[in-house]
Each structure stands twice: as C-alpha cells, then as structure tokens.
C-alpha cells in the first residue's frame, strides 16, 4: 500500500482536537503562564528550589488561576474540569510547582471544600485560595500508605472539654511524605480514627494548626523534614507527629460525619467503610490531576526526543557521504512512534475522564443532585486506571527519551533528567499503581457494586463465588460508534485486515472479557477449595486479576482514541489521527501477542503479519513525526532544553527532512501494509 496520508497536516488541527472541552483553559495557560520563576533551575539546591517554588506559588495565587475549582461565592468558578486541566497545563512548567499547587489547592483546599461545611468554607477558603494559609493534606503515615483505612493516628472526643485529642501512638503512625509540611504549612487536614463515646467510627479529617504566625511548630506538634528526594526538590515534604494535641470540636470536617457536643456521633452514611470511601471518592480530582500531569511531562519528553532525533545524525548510509538522521532508523522509530501513539490515546482517555468527573461533580456539588453511586464507582475506577496507565507510561517513555538522546539526555540542561526524577514518584503516590490496579479489578469483578473503592486485599473472596454476574463490558462515551465498528467486522476474524478498526476493538474486547471470566472462574474455584486459606484464594490469582485490570484500561483508552478521531473535523488531521490510532491498537496487541496466540486470536502467520504491519505504519508516520509533537502545542519557552535551542539551523533541517520524506513516500519507500507473513 502506498501511503494514504496527506503530504502535510496542519498541527493546529491536531491541537484543536486535543484541546477539546477546556480549550480556553489551555489557551490561557499557553498565553499567560510565563513567570520566570516557573521553570526548573538546573543544579539548584533544595533550599533554593523550595524558596523559588513557594514564591511562584504566591504569584500563581495572585493571578487568580488557581481558583477554578472553588465555589463561586468565594471567588471561584465551580469548574472542576477546568481546575484539573489547569493543573495539567501547569505540569509543563516546573513539576515541583505543579505538585505544590496540587497540594495547596487540590488536596488541602479540596478537602476543606469537599469534606468541610459552610463554617469551614467561610473561615478558610479565601485564605487558602490566596495562599495566605498554606496547608497540608496529612493522610499517609510511615506505616500506612496504601491501606489508609488502617491509619493509626487517633482523634478522641472528650465531651467534658468539647475538644478532640489528636495523637500519634507510635513512630510508624507519624504522618509522612506530607507536602507543605517541612517548611510552609500553617494548618493541616489530618486524617485519623475518630473515637467518641468509646467507639471508633473510622477515619475522618480535622483541620489542625501546625505552625504559629512566626512559623514555629505549634505546641505538641513535631515537624520533621523528609529531606532531599529523587526529584521534586521544590516541594517541602515532611513528617508530622502529634503528642495529644487538643483540637476544638468544630475543626472536624464534618460533612459526612458529625459529633455533637455530648459526643454523639451521626452520619448520613451508616456503613463505616462506605462512609470512608465516599469521603475519599470526593477527592478523586487529585488522582485525575496526577494522571494528566504525567501525560504533560511525557509530551514534553517526546517533543524533545523527536526534535533531537530529527536533527541528530549518526553513521553514513552505504555509498553516501551524509550521515543518517537517527529518526530514520527503524529501531528508533519503534521507540518513539508507538510511545507517541499511546500518548495521544491517553490524552483522549484523560479528556473523557475529566469531562465525566466534571459532570458528576457539578451535578452533586452545584445542582445538589444525589450521588449516582454506580457512576461514582465507575469514575473512581477510571481515574485509578488512567492514573496507572499514564504514570507508568510516563516513567517508561521519559526513560526511553532520555536514552534516545544519549549523553545529551543525561545533562540537566536538556530537561529530561528533571522530567524523569520529578515524575518518578507518580507511580506510587496518590495510590500505588499496583494497588490501584487491584481497585480497578475489584470494580470489574463486582460490576462496581458494593465496592466502596476499597483498596484492601479483597476481604471475603467468597463474594465472587456468590455472585452470578454477566460480564458485560461497561462502555465509554463512544458507545454507539464503537458498537457500529465492531458489528461491521466482515467475515472470519483471521481474514479481516488488521487495519479494520472493528477488528482491533473486538480483539481488545475479547481479551478483557476472557481475562475477566477466567479470573472469576478461578476465584470461585479457590473459594470452594477445602483447606485453602482465604489469603491464598486471592493471592493465587493476583497476577491474573491485575492483568484483567490492564486489559480493561487498554480498551477504555482505545475507545477514547476512536472517539477522539471521530471528533476531528479537518480531513488531513483525521487521516493522520486514524493512522496513529491504528499504531496504538496494533502495537498494544503486539505487546501482548503471546496472550492472543495463546487464546487462539492470532495464528502464527497473523502474528508475523502484525509485526510487519506495525513496521509499515511506522514508515507511514515517520514523515509526520514532527507534526505529531507540534500538535501538543507546547510553548517554546516552557521546554527549557538546551539541545533545542543550541542550533536554530536544526529546525530548518528538520522541516526539510520531513518534507523530503513525505515527497518520497509514494515512490521511494512505498510500503505495503498487506505484507505476506513469510518474513
């Protein structure tokens, strides 16, 4: 097949499609986020980085750009989706600043807003928004990161004094890795076990002052510093220990649980676990923001590596003087292009997630509607799944980009070291990825029923055995479109061309359904195996269960990409996105080729055709590689990479090379996508 792609695609059309619903927020950021303190400073000390980031956070607050997610009556815009998109854009600048902002306005501010009630809003929201009240989100303890239901910090009510007693019972119960704690925080939202009238009602949150006006720790509060980290040097993570700290009764963030003066506990949600996970569920924005930020960093890394690879030459072709541009090597394309395709795919999936989250939260918080429990559980699962997918993709892709730039990629001046070090923690904070995969799997196994978003080790595995459930896949927004494509697949699976979108979708669907059904079957069998310890019932299948979650996420992402392509209006951009979507689908299938072979979905001959087809797609996309990163529309001054600045002649060379290839494709390097499998 000769290339079906148009010779040129205007990246502005790609950008338009990517920008989507919150295009105005993205545009505003590109135009106005240019404070000189916002970019990483290479070789900066931890102390300097902290100072700079604190200073820039103030500038950011003054710009009013952090208030999108807060209620209108306090000066916000009640725009949940906008606030998350705004963080995603901030992540193109210094990631320390993004995390600092996320802590202050997302986690700390968000907790006060969503777990607190009117009196907390009136007393604190304005100061939080202006950064006059820097604060912490003190949930994680040294001993409990993933299993936050088991936090050891206690907060015990005494009706005699009408106060709570907040206490860290032992060293492993100290709050740890808390952003804003080591230097700036004046208050903290502290999570602890609420005990009143001798009964533990589970984890709740209190607003607790941790520093006085002069910045000194409050009495009985001990503050430690987590010191230098792998990255994010501008964020002052620290440790908090409470030695019987007195907290007034009205500092309980009491939206979901109240303690009366006499100590009587009330809540609209009776079940303790359900209540806790309802509280956590309101804080889903944090997880959504981390996923989006990981993708921003990935785009930046790809932008740098693609441009470098288009200018860098190494080794001459036989019989030629001029050396070869490294992006022309098949193996280099195999590194960059599938990563680019997946980055586009994840972008569309993230946009869909943000939109869903926005609509759900707006309905509840703005229009006072009842929470749709099923939709909320599904949202949390999607947020978890896409956080996992985007953060692991970031870790892998940024590493690959670093290596693709060789020694230059190891110098801080070329940005990649910061991107790598700063995003590294994303795979384990805001939920450890492995634990989050388990959450996703649990939702799939139970159909988002009675699930409460719990991250635990499955409790009674028996629930799977009890349930008779049809494994109907929950579809993304693109329901009708997807169904149409799947239904249109002609003939037998192994005769369908691999570029048939319906066939690709069917493969993703089949794998998810088969993996899920297999996991259910195995769990059910274990739960009736005499003498098998409950832990082993689950643990025996853990790898299979997590694989199920991964296949689910892959499908969600593909469907979102398909829908994204469908929304594009410019024909040239649509054609390019369509081919990129093929590459995402086929390289994902190729990565898990063993599974498809093992389950009879690919014959050995088809498997070879698959590899040949991926290689042919790489050839088709190669001339558009710069256009694809141009589509991210990252302002030049945000990149802060010396290799992109050093040689302005490179840009011209690059454009020339792409043009040359586009002209050559129909003749010189014509590709045949219907490669016979006999390689």
Residues from 196 through 235 that contact a second copy (CB under 8 A) = 226-231
Nearest approach, Cβ of 666 to a second copy (angstroms)?
A: 14
CA torsion angle 403 406 411 416 (round to 10): -30
Nearest approach, Cβ of 494 to a second copy (angstroms)?
A: 14
Nearest approach, Cβ of 76 to a second copy (angstroms)?
A: 31
CA–CA gap between residue 485 and residue 504 (Å, rounded):
10
Nearest approach, Cβ of 228 to a second copy (angstroms)?
A: 4
| CB closer to a second copy, 268 vs 316 | 316
The interface with a second copy within residues 572-601 (CB under 8 A) comprises 593-594, 597-600
| CB closer to a second copy, 9 vs 612 | 612
Q: Applying CB under 8 A, which of residues 219, 368, 491, 604 lies at the interface with a second copy?
A: 604
Candidates 268-276, 441-449, 604-612, 630-638; binding stretch for a second copy (CB under 8 A) = 604-612
Candidates 120-128, 137-145, 155-163, 382-390; binding stretch for a second copy (CB under 8 A) = 137-145
Contacts 24+ apart (CB under 8 A), 209-212: 210/136, 210/181, 210/185, 210/186, 210/240, 211/185, 211/186
CA–CA gap between residue 387 and residue 430 (Å, rounded):
9
Nearest approach, Cβ of 650 to a second copy (angstroms)?
A: 11
Nearest approach, Cβ of 384 to a second copy (angstroms)?
A: 16
| CB closer to a second copy, 86 vs 665 | 665
CA–CA gap between residue 152 and residue 154 (Å, rounded):
6
CA–CA gap between residue 382 and residue 390 (Å, rounded):
12
Check residue 417 for interaction with a second copy (CB under 8 A).
yes
Residues, the chain: 679
| CB closer to a second copy, 460 vs 479 | 460
Alpha carbons within 13 angstroms on the beta-carbon side of residue 373 total: 12
The interface with a second copy within residues 3-62 (CB under 8 A) comprises 42-43, 45-46
Q: What burial letters (b/e) apply to 578-614, b meaning 16+ CB within 10 Å? A: bbbbbbbbbbbbbebeebbeeeebbeeebbbbbebbb
Nearest approach, Cβ of 139 to a second copy (angstroms)?
A: 12
Q: Are 325 and 313 in contact (CB under 8 A)?
A: yes
Size of site (CB under 8 A) for a second copy: 91
| CB closer to a second copy, 117 vs 615 | 615
| CB closer to a second copy, 411 vs 467 | 411
Cα distances (angstroms) measured from residue 299 to each of 100, 250, 635: 21, 45, 12
Closest CA to 380 of 353, 347, 345: 353
Contact pattern for a second copy over residues 461 through 490, marking x by CB under 8 A: x-----------------------------
Q: Applying CB under 8 A, which of residues 211, 420, 501, 624 lies at the interface with a second copy?
A: 420
3-class state of residue 369 by DSSP = coil
| CB closer to a second copy, 26 vs 332 | 332
The interface with a second copy within residues 146-185 (CB under 8 A) comprises 146-147, 150, 176-177
The interface with a second copy within residues 532-551 (CB under 8 A) comprises 533-536, 539-540, 542-544, 546
The interface with a second copy within residues 295-314 (CB under 8 A) comprises 313-314
Check residue 648 for interaction with a second copy (CB under 8 A).
no
| CB closer to a second copy, 575 vs 644 | 644
Beta bridge partners, 200, equal 195
Contact pattern for a second copy over residues 385 through 414, marking x by CB under 8 A: ----------x---x--xx--xx-xxxxx-
Q: Are 572 and 3 in contact (CB under 8 A)?
A: no
| CB closer to a second copy, 362 vs 434 | 434
Q: How many CB atoms lie within 10 A of CB 36?
A: 9
Closest CA to 240 of 214, 215, 209: 209
Burial (CB count <10 Å: 0-12, 13-18, 19+), residue 270: exposed
Nearest approach, Cβ of 430 to a second copy (angstroms)?
A: 11
First-to-last CA distance in the chain?
17
* Kind plus residue range of the DSSP H or E element containing 156: strand 154-158
Check residue 244 for interaction with a second copy (CB under 8 A).
no
Nearest approach, Cβ of 577 to a second copy (angstroms)?
A: 25
Alpha carbons within 13 angstroms on the beta-carbon side of residue 623 total: 22
The interface with a second copy within residues 348-367 (CB under 8 A) comprises none
Q: Applying CB under 8 A, which of residues 425, 558, 580, 625 lies at the interface with a second copy?
A: 425
Q: How many CB atoms lie within 10 A of CB 367?
A: 7
The interface with a second copy within residues 491-530 (CB under 8 A) comprises 518, 522
Nearest approach, Cβ of 39 to a second copy (angstroms)?
A: 15
| CB closer to a second copy, 198 vs 600 | 600
Q: Applying CB under 8 A, which of residues 77, 328, 474, 570 lies at the interface with a second copy?
A: 328
Check residue 368 for interaction with a second copy (CB under 8 A).
no
Nearest approach, Cβ of 385 to a second copy (angstroms)?
A: 16
CA–CA gap between residue 624 and residue 658 (Å, rounded):
7
CA–CA gap between residue 391 and residue 397 (Å, rounded):
10
The interface with a second copy within residues 434-463 (CB under 8 A) comprises 434, 455-461
The interface with a second copy within residues 257-286 (CB under 8 A) comprises none
Q: Applying CB under 8 A, which of residues 126, 475, 608, 650 lies at the interface with a second copy?
A: 608
Q: How many CB atoms lie within 10 A of CB 379?
A: 22
Closest CA to 247 of 192, 173, 172: 192
Q: Are 128 and 58 in contact (CB under 8 A)?
A: no
Check residue 130 for interaction with a second copy (CB under 8 A).
no
CA–CA gap between residue 676 and residue 673 (Å, rounded):
9
């Amino acid at each position: 097949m000769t290339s079906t792609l148009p010779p040129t695609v205007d990246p502005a059309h790609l950008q338009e499609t990517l920008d989507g619903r919150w295009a105005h927020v993205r545009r505003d950021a590109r135009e106005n986020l240019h404070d000189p303190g916002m970019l990483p400073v290479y070789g900066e000390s931890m102390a300097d980085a902290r100072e700079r980031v604190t200073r820039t956070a103030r500038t950011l607050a003054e710009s009013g750009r952090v208030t999108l997610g807060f209620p209108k009556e306090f000066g916000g815009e009640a725009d949940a989706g906008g606030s998350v998109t705004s963080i995603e854009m901030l992540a193109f600048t210094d990631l320390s600043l993004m995390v600092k902002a996320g802590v202050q306005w997302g986690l700390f501010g968000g907790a006060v807003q969503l777990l607190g009630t009117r009196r907390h809003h009136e007393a604190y929201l304005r100061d939080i928004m202006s950064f006059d009240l820097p604060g912490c989100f003190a949930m994680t303890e040294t001993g409990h990161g993933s299993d936050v239901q088991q936090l050891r910090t206690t907060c015990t009510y005494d009706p005699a004094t009408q106060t709570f007693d907040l206490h860290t019972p032992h060293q492993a119960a100290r709050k740890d890795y808390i952003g804003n704690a080591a230097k700036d925080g004046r208050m903290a939202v502290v999570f602890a076990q609420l005990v009143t009238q001798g009964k533990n009602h589970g984890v709740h949150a209190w607003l607790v002052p941790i520093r006085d006006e002069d910045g000194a720790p409050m009495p009985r509060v001990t503050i430690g510093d987590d010191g230098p980290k792998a990255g994010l040097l501008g964020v002052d993570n620290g440790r908090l220990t409470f030695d019987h700290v007195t907290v007034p009764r009205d500092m309980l963030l009491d939206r979901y649980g109240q303690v009366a003066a006499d100590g009587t506990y009330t809540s609209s949600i009776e079940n303790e676990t359900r209540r806790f996970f309802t509280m956590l569920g309101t804080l889903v924005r944090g997880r959504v923001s981390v996923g989006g930020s990981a993708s921003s960093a990935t785009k930046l890394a790809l932008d740098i590596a693609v441009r470098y690879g288009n200018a860098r030459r190494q080794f001459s072709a036989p019989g030629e003087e001029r050396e070869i541009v490294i992006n022309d090597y098949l193996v280099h394309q195999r590194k960059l292009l599938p990563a680019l395709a997946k980055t586009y795919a994840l972008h569309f999936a993230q946009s869909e997630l943000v939109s869903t989250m926005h609509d759900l939260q707006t309905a509840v918080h703005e229009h006072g509607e009842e929470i749709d429990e099923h939709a909320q559980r599904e949202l949390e699962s999607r947020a978890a799944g896409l956080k996992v997918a985007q953060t692991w993709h970031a870790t892998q892709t940024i590493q690959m980009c670093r290596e693709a730039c060789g020694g230059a990629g190891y110098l801080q001046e070329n940005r990649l070291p910061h991107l790598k070090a700063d995003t590294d923690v994303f795979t384990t904070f805001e939920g450890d990825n492995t634990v989050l995969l388990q959450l996703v799997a649990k939702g799939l196994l139970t159909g988002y029923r009675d699930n409460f978003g719990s991250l635990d080790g499955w409790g009674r595995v028996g629930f799977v055995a009890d349930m008779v459930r049809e494994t109907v896949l929950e579809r993304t927004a693109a329901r009708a479109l997807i169904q149409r494509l799947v239904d249109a697949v002609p003939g037998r699976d192994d005769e369908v061309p691999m570029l048939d979108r319906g066939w690709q979708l069917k493969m993703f669907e089949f794998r998810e359904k088969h993996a899920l059904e297999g996991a259910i079957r195995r769990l059910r069998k274990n739960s009736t195996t005499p003498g098998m310890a409950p832990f082993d019932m689950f643990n025996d299948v853990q790898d299979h269960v997590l694989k199920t979650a991964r296949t689910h996420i892959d499908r969600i992402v593909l469907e979102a990409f398909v829908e994204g392509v469908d929304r594009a209006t410019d024909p040239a951009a649509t054609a390019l996105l369509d081919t990129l979507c093929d590459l995402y689908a086929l390289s994902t299938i190729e990565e898990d080729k063993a599974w498809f072979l093992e389950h009879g979905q690919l014959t050995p001959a088809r498997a070879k055709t698959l590899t040949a087809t991926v290689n042919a797609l790489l050839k088709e996309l190669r001339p558009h590689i710069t256009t694809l990163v141009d589509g991210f529309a990252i302002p030049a001054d945000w990149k802060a990479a010396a290799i992109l600045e050093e040689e302005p002649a490179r840009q011209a060379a690059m454009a020339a090379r792409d043009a040359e290839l586009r002209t050559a494709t129909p003749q010189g390097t014509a590709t045949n996508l219907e490669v016979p499998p006999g390689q």
